[in-house]
Amino acid sequence: MTAKKSLSLEAVYNELAANGITLNISPKKVKNINFRLKPNALFVTYPKGIADDYLLAMLTKRLNWAIGQHEQLLKQTAQKTAFLPNVDDENAENKVLLWGKPQLIDTNGRAITEFYRDELSAIVPNLLAKWQPKTAVASEVRFKTMTTRWGSCNTRARRIWLSTYLPAYPIECTEYVLVHELCHLIHPNHSRDFWQAVATAMPDYQHWHDLLAGKSV
C-alpha cells in the first residue's frame, strides 16, 4: 500500500474550509504534533523547528479523520444546545436549565452550581433506591463542580462523585452517570463485562451516554 501523497498547506486549508473547518496552526514548546478538533475549527500545535514536509504529511494523514469526526462533533453539539434557553427571551436572565428544560426559577442569588447541588441532593436518594438493587451499593455520593467529567468514583472507598452540572440535562442523564459509576464498583474498568453490566441495568443507556458525549464518565 502506498502512502498518501502530502497535500500543500493551501490544499489542506481549502479541503477543511470546504467542510466548514477553519485550520489554526501554531508552533509551541511541545514534543509532538497535537490535534484538537472543535466545532468549525481544527487547532494544531507543533514543535518549533519541525520540518515543513513532515508537518504537511501529518496534516494530510489526519485530514479525513478531522472531517469525519467534525460531522459527529456537530451532531453532539446540536444535541446539547437543543436544551439551551432562548437568550432573546425577555425573561432569559431568570431562566435555568433544569432537567433538560429551561424554566423560570429564582435561585435566590445562589450560583447555578449551588442550585444544581441542592437539586441533586434532593433527587439522588430516590435514584439510589432505584438503581442500587440492579447494580451495586455505594458508601456515599458526593457532588463536585467538574468541567471535564460527568462522574467519577473511588472503588476502594465505594464513593461516587457526580458533576453539579448534570441537572441541566434530562434526569435520565443523571441516572445513566449514576448507573455507570455504580457498575464501576463491580468492574473498575471499561471492559466488556462492565458495559454489559451497564446495559443490563439500563438497556437504553446509549442514548443518554450520547447526549452527554464530550465529557468523560
Question: What are the pLDDT digits (tens) for 28-38?
Answer: 988 899 999 88
| CA distances from residue 125 to 57, 90, 113, 202, 217 in whole angstroms, order as listed | 54, 36, 19, 18, 20
Written as one string, the DSSP assignment of 82-139 is TTS--TTSTTGGGEEEETTEEEE---TT--HHHHHHHHHHHHHHHHHHHHGGGS---S
Among left, alpha and beta (phi > 0; psi -120 to 50; other), residue 109 is left
DSSP state of 215: S
Predicted pLDDT of residue 77? 61
Predicted pLDDT of residue 148? 75
All residue ranges of the chain with pLDDT < 50 are: 1-3, 81-93
Q: Decide: residue 11, CB within 10 A, 0-12 exposed, 13-18 middle, 19+ buried.
A: middle
Every domain of the chain with CATH number 3.30.2010.10 lies at 92-211
Predicted pLDDT of residue 76? 65
CB 161 within 8 A of CB 212: no
Count of residues for the chain?
A: 217
Predicted pLDDT of residue 43? 92
Predicted pLDDT of residue 200? 97
Predicted pLDDT of residue 210? 86
Question: CATH for 92-211, among 3.40.50.300, 3.30.2010.10, 1.10.630.10, 3.30.1510.10?
Answer: 3.30.2010.10
Predicted pLDDT of residue 72? 79
> Is this prediction's pTM over 0.85?
no
Predicted pLDDT of residue 101? 84
Report how far Cα 194 is from the mean position of its chain's Cα atoms: 20
Per residue in 125-143, pLDDT tens? 999 999 999 999 999 999 9
